[in-house]
């Protein structure tokens, strides 16, 4: 990765030899997939940080709709036993589906959600020992002390009865606000069994600044144990004026989290305002800049803050988009069935209405492809299972993508 200059802290400069699913031949390079004018004249911090060369998949593949109109979803997650779990956001329940999209069981018993706007039942993750203990974790928008916040709970899945039992809230992202926007929130376990949770800054002038405050949970990625305690080794443990659960800060609305299967590092997708959508590699204790630095502008026009894109001590995104694509859930393709996809990052895009394929080499984006544009749907989430991708849209439709 090309570093900035002198004091600029650029996590993306730390590279590895992983993520080698690059474009197969230089001649495969195509013009950038983005053809619209950007919202601003901001310049990238390094070559290849935006509007990289396009690419096209050569291996034949199929995209089949396997379910439709499930309700307003937030997450589709591969279960350890080879089935799928879908969260239905506003109604506050989950559904277990087989890999052909057939309903197996509706799951209820979850705490009440704030079912307005971007709130509801959000992500779900499975305990590392799920096959034995049947414990699941979920994030949701909760009404707490008269305010709205992102909460994380766990419970035992009783599939036969179609409910969760022994529900326990293990974390609340205080302070609460009156906003029903930008909760985050994705959940992912690392190899040591600790849980990462992404939390939005709630889209209010008085709350966005808290993304820069380590003593607030807003605009953060936290790392906790399965009991909701700070994970050992967290960067702000025992540091006055900082929450011990905080892992990174300076985030706007991170709706995608995924562990790189090769390097073990944590990747994140994040909504910008008008422009400035990002993907980042999340490293402990780092400041990702919002709202001090951004490649986006305010929705009504004009700069965010001082209108700067780089500052000492703040991380640069690995890649950014202007105009936005609205990146939601993300996953890595871990299989070999479609060779050029191996270790590529796939991103569900809402306003972009496509599935974005991001080709990565040495932690740098080297190519980009847009899939499913002909569906004309807001893509909410994507998950990988057994050489296939499963995609869910805001219309509640599920598509399975597999080698032809």
The burial class, CB within 10 Å (0-12 / 13-18 / 19+), for 404 is exposed
254 closest CA partner among 236, 275, 280: 280
User: Residue range 44-59: average pLDDT?
Assistant: 97
Q: Which residue shows structure tokens 């694509």?
A: 325
* 3, part of any domain: no
Contact yes or no for 153/169 (Cβ under 8 A):
yes
Q: Could you read off the pLDDT of 81-119 as tens digits, one per residue?
A: 999 999 999 999 999 999 999 999 999 999 999 999 999
Whether the per-residue pLDDT at 6 is higher than 50: the answer is: no
Distances (CA, A) of 217 to 144, 156, 177, 201, 356: 15, 27, 12, 8, 29
* 6, part of any domain: no
Give the list of residues 6+ apart from residue 320 with CB closer than 8 angstroms, or none: 44, 49, 50, 272, 275, 276, 277, 278, 279, 295
* 2, part of any domain: no
- pTM value is 0.93
pLDDT confidence bin for 29, thresholds 50/70/90: confident
* 5, part of any domain: no
33: tokens are 């997939």
Q: Could you read off the pLDDT of 375-390 as tens digits, one per residue?
A: 999 999 999 999 999 9
Instruction: Give the span between the Cα atoms of 385 and 34, in whole angstroms.
Output: 29
Domain count, the chain: 1
Contact yes or no for 387/403 (Cβ under 8 A):
yes
Q: What is the mean pLDDT of the chain?
A: 93
34 closest CA partner among 396, 363, 324: 324
Instruction: Give the span between the Cα atoms of 41 and 250, in whole angstroms.
Output: 23
* Phi-psi sector, 131: left (phi>0), alpha (psi -120 to 50), beta: alpha
User: Residue range 18-28: average pLDDT?
Assistant: 45
Q: Could you read off the pLDDT of 334-350 as tens digits, one per residue?
A: 999 999 999 999 999 99
Q: Could you read off the pLDDT of 135-188 as tens digits, one per residue?
A: 999 999 999 999 999 999 999 999 999 999 999 999 999 999 999 999 999 999
DSSP secondary structure letter of residue 177? B
Q: Could you read off the pLDDT of 229-243 as tens digits, one per residue?
A: 999 999 999 999 999
Give the list of residues 6+ apart from residue 393 with CB closer than 8 angstroms, or none: 73, 375, 377, 378, 379, 380, 399
DSSP secondary structure letter of residue 232? T
50: tokens are 């935006």
Q: Could you read off the pLDDT of 280-296 as tens digits, one per residue?
A: 999 999 999 999 999 99
Instruction: Give the span between the Cα atoms of 266 and 259, in whole angstroms.
Output: 5
Sign of CA dihedral 246, 295, 44, 184: positive
* 326, part of any domain: yes
Radius of gyration over every alpha carbon of the chain, rounded to an integer in angstroms: 20
* CATH number of the domain bearing residue 103: 2.120.10.30
3-class DSSP assignment, residue 332: strand
User: Residue range 31-46: average pLDDT?
Assistant: 97
* 49, part of any domain: yes
123 closest CA partner among 260, 290, 328, 266: 328
DSSP secondary structure letter of residue 212? G
Q: Could you read off the pLDDT of 295-316 as tens digits, one per residue?
A: 999 999 999 999 999 999 999 9
300 lies in which domain range?
11-403
| Phi/psi of residue 205, nearest 5 degrees | -55, -40
Q: Which residue shows structure tokens 């929130």?
A: 185
User: Residue range 314-336: average pLDDT?
Assistant: 98
DSSP secondary structure letter of residue 132? H
Give the list of residues 6+ apart from residue 228 with CB closer than 8 angstroms, or none: 152, 170, 171
pLDDT at position 9 is: 35
Q: Could you read off the pLDDT of 251-290 as tens digits, one per residue?
A: 999 999 999 999 999 999 999 999 999 999 999 999 999 9
């Amino acid at each position: 990765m090309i570093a900035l200059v002198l004091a600029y802290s650029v996590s993306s400069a730390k590279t590895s030899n992983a993520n080698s699913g690059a474009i197969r031949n230089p001649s495969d390079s195509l013009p950038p997939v983005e053809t619209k004018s950007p919202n601003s004249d901001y310049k990238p911090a390094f070559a290849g940080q935006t509007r990289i060369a396009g690419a096209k998949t050569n291996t034949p593949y199929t995209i089949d709709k396997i379910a439709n109109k499930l309700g307003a979803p937030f997450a589709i997650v591969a279960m350890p036993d080879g089935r799928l779990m879908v969260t239905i956001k506003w109604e506050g329940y989950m559904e277990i589906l087989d890999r052909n999209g057939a309903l197996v069981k509706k799951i209820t018993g979850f705490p009440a959600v704030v079912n307005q706007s971007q709130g509801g039942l959000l992500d779900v993750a499975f305990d590392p020992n799920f096959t034995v203990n049947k414990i699941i974790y979920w994030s949701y928008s909760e009404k707490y002390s008269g305010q709205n916040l992102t909460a994380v709970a766990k419970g035992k899945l009783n599939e036969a009865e179609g409910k969760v039992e022994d529900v326990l809230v293990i974390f609340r992202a205080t302070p609460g606000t009156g906003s029903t926007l930008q909760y985050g929130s994705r959940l992912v376990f690392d190899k040591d069994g600790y849980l990462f949770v992404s939390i939005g800054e709630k889209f209010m002038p008085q709350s966005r600044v808290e993304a820069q405050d380590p003593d607030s949970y807003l605009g953060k990625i936290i790392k906790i144990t399965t009991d909701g305690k700070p994970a050992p080794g967290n960067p702000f443990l025992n540091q006055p004026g900082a929450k011990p659960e905080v892992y990174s800060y300076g985030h706007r609305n991170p709706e995608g989290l995924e562990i790189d299967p090769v390097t073990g590092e944590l990747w994140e997708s994040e909504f910008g305002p008008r422009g400035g959508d990002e993907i980042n590699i999340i490293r402990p204790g780092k400041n990702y800049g919002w709202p001090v630095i951004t490649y986006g502008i305010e929705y009504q026009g004009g700069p965010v803050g001082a209108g700067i894109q780089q500052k000492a001590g703040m991380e640069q995104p690995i890649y950014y988009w202007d105009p936005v694509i609205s990146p939601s859930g993300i996953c890595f393709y871990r299989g070999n069935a479609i060779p050029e996809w191996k270790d590529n990052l796939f991103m569900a895009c809402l306003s972009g209405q496509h599935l974005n394929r991001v080709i990565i080499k040495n932690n740098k984006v080297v190519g980009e492809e847009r899939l499913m544009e002909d569906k004309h749907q807001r893509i909410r989430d994507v998950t990988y299972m057994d050489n296939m991708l499963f995609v869910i849209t805001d219309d509640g439709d599920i598509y399975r993508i597999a080698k032809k």
